[in-house]
Structure 1
Amino acid sequence: MSPQKEPLYHSLHPLHSLSRTSCLDYDILLCDVCGQELIFDTCHRCEPCKFVVCSKCVMAEKAQKDAATALKEELVIKFVHDGHNPQHTLTIQSRPAAFHCNACNTKKEDMFYQCDQCDFWIHKACTSLLETIDLPYLHHHKLDLVFSLPEKFYNYKYKCELCDKRIMQTDWTYHCSNCRYFIHIKCVPNSDQPSTQRLEVNVEEEATDSNILHLPMSHALTDPLKLLHSNNDPTTPGGGGDDNEQLEISHWSHDHLLFLTDVPQGDKINMPDIGCSTDPIMVCHICVRPLSIPYYSCKHDGCSFTLHKYCAELSRTLEHPLHPDHLLELVKQNYASLCYFCDKRCNTFMFQCKTCSFCIDVNCAFLPKIIKHKFHKQHPLVQRIGRLWKQCITCERRIIAGHYSCDACNVRLDWQCALRSPRLLPHRYCKGHEIPLTYPPIEDHPDDFYCEICEEDMYPKLPLYYCGKCKNSFHMHCLSREYKYENYVLEGTLSIPDHNHPLTYVRRKKVPKEVCFGCNGDINGLLFLECRSGNCPYCLCLECLPSGKRP
């Protein structure tokens, strides 16, 4: 004898049982639960009350009752979770509620567990997170679940790679320890499709405007006038060539005639592409950069005045977007003035405003107004000026002068990081190879980074120069030195109390590299002081001079 089926009841019609019937027996039937018209379906009906339920709503009612039964069984179970105090038990609550979850830090309505001993609440879904996830479109290593920030990462601020918010010590995250890669559990996208948030994808696009400079370059941008001249732009100083070159000129800034040199003359001019030499480097007195062909020079005895041809042809006045209200005038100085863009002093030529105190050195005046940079691939960066309480995104130092910014993303890039950090740089600690500019994360480097120059710990989430062969690390601003006196022209000698012999101002490059006896920094190609007494190797950068002896 087959077991008798229990009568079917529905929560919306609890007093009478429902009988199964065919919809074909009636003209029109509508489900009283979902409102759908029933034609070729079976349904359950209470004939006296004319209450009708479709088969789908019956199944949904049954599933809801089964879940309620399971929940009642779960209510008697005390649950201990690894993400909470092991001495405390969690109990599931019988109804969903909207609250702030201690695991994902979000507020949404869901079934939840509540701690029996303290004020700890957690979504039911958060109690069953996977211990390891694989998101290859985000990161090339698997990510492990942790219920708090590991203590070894307390020394720096780490941010979620998707929402860019700081990882707090109590945050539940998925992370890769070796790469220092963190994602909030609430930010983890669906595993079947890439997230639409900030992903590690290459969005670098070739600019349609060929005049936009793409950085970083293979070399530091220290000579913008030479770059403009090399592009052969007829609208720039010295660009496009000149069939009627003047062999001698009288320049407004100098008392003697200047004579053109348009072919190399031995090794007297040490340009960067000629190679290292022990001969001094001659510089243009306007831009204070190494001479290159063609240039003008003074032949008067004892006079070392020299000018690039394109510098000699600079206009005496300039309209500049960083100071649009007034015209700037090129002046020759008898003293040193502070450039408003690079925050360095220059003792030769400057563009100055006669109405106010604005000054900008010749090189900064011709820097690119818009750039594209690998540090911020999404948008071009626009040249700006001014002291900000904002940090540079690459070095996290406060911006005190010129910078490049993306206002849409509120991103600022210090001019030194933007223009003076090339893709590769040499250092004597890594002989025989150059050191690449590297972007985090650096694979399989779980140890902290330590700058070999300043001997300080390094924040591993910032770009750095890192040699994988020698395992040497360098701050960007340490390896690409920020020299205060790069825009100075000084001649003659100077005596200091720390050395017995007079020191001579000189610029030179030679092998092995020149190193300052004071700071041990690389001064190759920079203006420094050297001792020429016998075989004395003493040399000193101007930044290491006693305070009373500095220019």
Structure 2
Amino acid sequence: MGEINHFSHEKHPLKLIEDWETVLSVGGDNEEKKGVVDCMGCPELITISDGCAYGCIECGYFLHKTCAELPPTINHHFHPFHLLTLIVHINVDGWNCDVCRTIGVSRGFSYCCSECDFDACTKCGVAVVSKEEASIKLKHKGHPQHTLTLQLRRASFLCDACHTKDEDFFYQCDSCDFWIHKTCASLAPTINLPHHPKHPLVLVHLLPDNFYNFEYFCEFCERYILRNDWLYHCANCRYFAHIKCALNAPPPRDDEGISVATEDLLHFPMSYSFTDPLKLLYSGKVILDDNETYEINHWSHPDHLLILTEESQGNNKPDIDSSDLIEVCYGCVRPLSFPYYRCCQDGCSYTLHKYCAQLPRILQHQLHLDHSLNLVDTLGDEHYFKCSGCFSLGNTFAYKCESNCKFFLCVNCVFLPKTIKHESHNHPLVQLVKPKQLCRACTLFYSSDIINYACEACNFQLCMCCAMRSPHSLTHRYCKGHEIPLTYPPVENHPEDFYCDICEEEMHPKRPLYHCHDCKNSFHLNCISQMDYYANIICKGKVTVSYHKHPLTYVRRQKGTPQYVCSVCNENINGYLVLECRARLCNFNICYYCHRNKKW
């Protein structure tokens, strides 16, 4: 029935509203009340679990479908003398339910005996179980091994279906200690949630066994999904919600205006791995003026003068981009770009970006608020420093705690943006420093302080590496001729499991991955592009090693081909610090990780 005439609203007929977005739009411009709709009969909130409602949009008058279809008269055992008639209370001082003893009800429906001044609220009025109904043995899919019997009285207990303690009529197992609410026994087999608009959610009484390989969490309360939980789920998207969480879900957040707020933010993932925040920060801001000194004495290189080299025309232009060799700045250990300082001494290859030469010598950082951080050169230290922001090792510039707390930050982590926009989340992510954080991408649990980007309102966080260092697409020799895009779940039309084509292990379907839709290849983020924990290390010259017959030379190259791999681990080494053999007819290369960790 799409439209009814109801005695409680005689001005206009009430139409059946099945489109939940219509209900959510009620409230106008008041954001606090938007989507909050009271039933004029009960009166309780109309929620997604009700499926549909009757309403008059013009007057803002709504009724639960069950309230709109209440019988006009009932017999009740609390008042067996007369029939009770359904009436509506409007603008009264208050009435009392003579069954549940609720007092001061201001409006809504009641079953009334005007002769005896007896009222029963609608919940008490219809909550009557007949002996005939209680005598029927129920066989339920949620407890198929035994029959269930409906009890004649209400009780408050912990339901084995929804795991909540509510007072309700209930079904009790005839053979074991299994109790469920009467409402839980009659749940809709499918529901549509605006939080997951692409597919309906299907009711299951156990977690399907094909999802046992990984841990899953409720989309709303974020609790771990147990195997015996009753759930609404979408198998294709691996979307799970406890039945109560799904049925009582608040309206989705209104994200209007978010795009305006994020216009000036950096958007991730980028087309490349974001490892050079200093270059982006100072891009276009380093201006050469007429009064500038082209020769400086820098504290990090006191023995020789540094000469400013700017981009020039003609044959005198420095050749820093013409080969696959990567020349790096001594300060940030990132590829050299104009303008930069170069040592004037013959045979000395010391180089420094102009902006790295002007880095502040002392600063405060939210990762270490107790003390100031001093810019130091760690080359003479016995051991590499470990950055507390990205965990990378380094041997050049670092910001070090002035109080010797053994706290270091590489210069790149110090100048990371405070707020970013990431494709994996609808809202901006703010840089936070919190221990015991679970990254939503790599699922690593960081017990110590680390830079992460989070939306606290949604309890969503990404570690810095996953937020910034996974590019939008990558190449791999398994997929020749095209790039492999970074893909966020769910992957459309791919209900089957994923297996990484490098490590050959099954992949968690709720985690981002690199997936080639043409070749059907899939890769873990860390398998196709490993985190370079030696990106802040400078090593130059030749070394003699025990595991290779020729001397090896430290070098960084960007060959632009995924075939440029380490001879030991077979990983892509484009841009990485490697040791290469330059002997004739010898193509041996070894990445610094394998060299340092003796992976040979």
* TM-score category (smaller protein): 0.7 to 0.9
- Among 238, 262, 268, the alignment partner of 2:310 is 262
1:73 matched to which residue of 2?
A: 132
* Identical residues among aligned pairs (%): 49
Structure-1 separation of matches of 2:416 and 2:226: 41
- Among 413, 418, 441, the alignment partner of 1:369 is 418
How do residues 38-437 of structure 1 correspond to structure 2 at under 5 angstroms? 52-53=115-116, 71-86=130-145, 88-135=146-193, 137-189=195-247, 195-196=249-250, 199=252, 205-206=258-259, 208=261, 212-230=265-283, 232=285, 239=286, 241-254=288-301, 255-263=303-311, 268-270=319-321, 277-278=323-324, 280-332=325-377, 333-335=379-381, 336-356=384-404, 357-378=406-427, 380-384=429-433, 388-399=435-446, 400-404=448-452, 406=454, 408-409=456-457, 411-437=460-486
Structure-2 separation of matches of 1:57 and 1:351: 74
Structure 2: which amino acid aligns with 1:149? L
Deviations 1:254-302 (A, max 9, x none): 22222222126567313xxx7xx43x11111111111111112124222
Q: Is the 8 A contact 2:476 2:483 kept in 1?
A: yes
Deviations 1:49-95 (A, max 9, x none): xx9258x97999xx869x55xx2122332221122133x11111112
Larger radius of gyration: 1
Q: Is the 8 A contact 1:179 1:444 kept in 2?
A: no
* 1:500 and 2:549 are equivalent in the alignment: yes
Q: Is the 8 A contact 2:429 2:455 kept in 1?
A: no
TM-score, with length taken from structure 2: 0.73
2:22 matched to which residue of 1?
A: none
Structure-2 separation of matches of 1:320 and 1:58: 64
- Indicate the SS of the match to 1:436: strand
Structure 1: which amino acid aligns with 2:143? H
Cα deviation for residue 154 of structure 1 reads 0.9
Q: Is the 8 A contact 1:496 1:549 kept in 2?
A: no
Moved more, 285-294 or 353-362: 353-362
Q: Closer, same or farther in 2 for the Cα pair 1:282/1:64, shift >3 Å?
A: closer
Cα deviation for residue 304 of structure 1 reads 0.9
Q: Is the 8 A contact 1:250 1:258 kept in 2?
A: yes
Structure-2 separation of matches of 1:136 and 1:390: 29
Structure-1 separation of matches of 2:79 and 2:555: 100
TM-score, with length taken from structure 1: 0.79
- Indicate the SS of the match to 1:434: strand
Cα deviation for residue 98 of structure 1 reads 1.7
1:439 matched to which residue of 2?
A: 488
2:577 matched to which residue of 1?
A: 527
Cα deviation for residue 112 of structure 1 reads 1.6
Q: Closer, same or farther in 2 for the Cα pair 1:80/1:161, shift >3 Å?
A: same
Structure-2 separation of matches of 1:266 and 1:536: 33
Q: Closer, same or farther in 2 for the Cα pair 1:512/1:347, shift >3 Å?
A: same
Cα deviation for residue 170 of structure 1 reads 0.6
What's the RMSD between the two structures over aligned residues? 3.7
Structure-2 separation of matches of 1:196 and 1:169: 25
1:21 matched to which residue of 2?
A: none
Deviations 1:417-439 (A, max 9, x none): 12212333333323333332222
Deviations 1:288-332 (A, max 9, x none): 111111112124222111111221222333333333444433222
Q: Closer, same or farther in 2 for the Cα pair 1:245/1:92, shift >3 Å?
A: same
Structure 1: which amino acid aligns with 2:570? N
- Among 495, 498, 519, the alignment partner of 1:470 is 519
Structure 2: which amino acid aligns with 1:538? F
Structure 2: which amino acid aligns with 1:228? L
Structure 1: which amino acid aligns with 2:139? V
Q: Is the 8 A contact 1:203 1:378 kept in 2?
A: no
Structure 2: which amino acid aligns with 1:77? I
- Among 561, 570, 583, the alignment partner of 1:512 is 561
Q: Is the 8 A contact 1:342 1:401 kept in 2?
A: no
- Indicate the SS of the match to 2:482: coil
Q: Closer, same or farther in 2 for the Cα pair 1:196/1:240, shift >3 Å?
A: farther
Structure-2 separation of matches of 1:540 and 1:89: 67
Cα deviation for residue 11 of structure 1 reads 6.1
- Indicate the SS of the match to 1:509: coil
- Indicate the SS of the match to 1:310: helix
Q: Is the 8 A contact 2:170 2:181 kept in 1?
A: yes
Cα deviation for residue 445 of structure 1 reads 2.0
Structure-1 separation of matches of 2:150 and 2:398: 74
Which residues of structure 1 form unaligned runs of 5+? 1-7, 19-29, 36-43, 46-50, 233-238
Deviations 1:349-386 (A, max 9, x none): 2222343133222222222234444445445423427x
Q: Closer, same or farther in 2 for the Cα pair 1:244/1:64, shift >3 Å?
A: closer
Q: Closer, same or farther in 2 for the Cα pair 1:267/1:252, shift >3 Å?
A: closer
Which residues of structure 2 form unaligned runs of 5+? 1-73, 84-94, 104-111
Q: Is the 8 A contact 1:269 1:282 kept in 2?
A: yes
Moved more, 114-123 or 348-357: 348-357
Moved more, 164-173 or 489-498: 489-498
Q: Is the 8 A contact 1:203 1:377 kept in 2?
A: no
Cα deviation for residue 480 of structure 1 reads 3.6
Structure-1 separation of matches of 2:355 and 2:519: 42
Structure-2 separation of matches of 1:204 and 1:17: 58
Structure 1: which amino acid aligns with 2:237? C
Structure 1: which amino acid aligns with 2:571? G
Cα deviation for residue 451 of structure 1 reads 2.5
Q: Is the 8 A contact 1:281 1:509 kept in 2?
A: yes
Structure 2: which amino acid aligns with 1:282? E
Q: Is the 8 A contact 1:528 1:539 kept in 2?
A: yes
Q: Is the 8 A contact 2:366 2:433 kept in 1?
A: no
Q: How many residues align?
A: 495
Structure-1 separation of matches of 2:497 and 2:399: 45
Structure-2 separation of matches of 1:84 and 1:520: 53
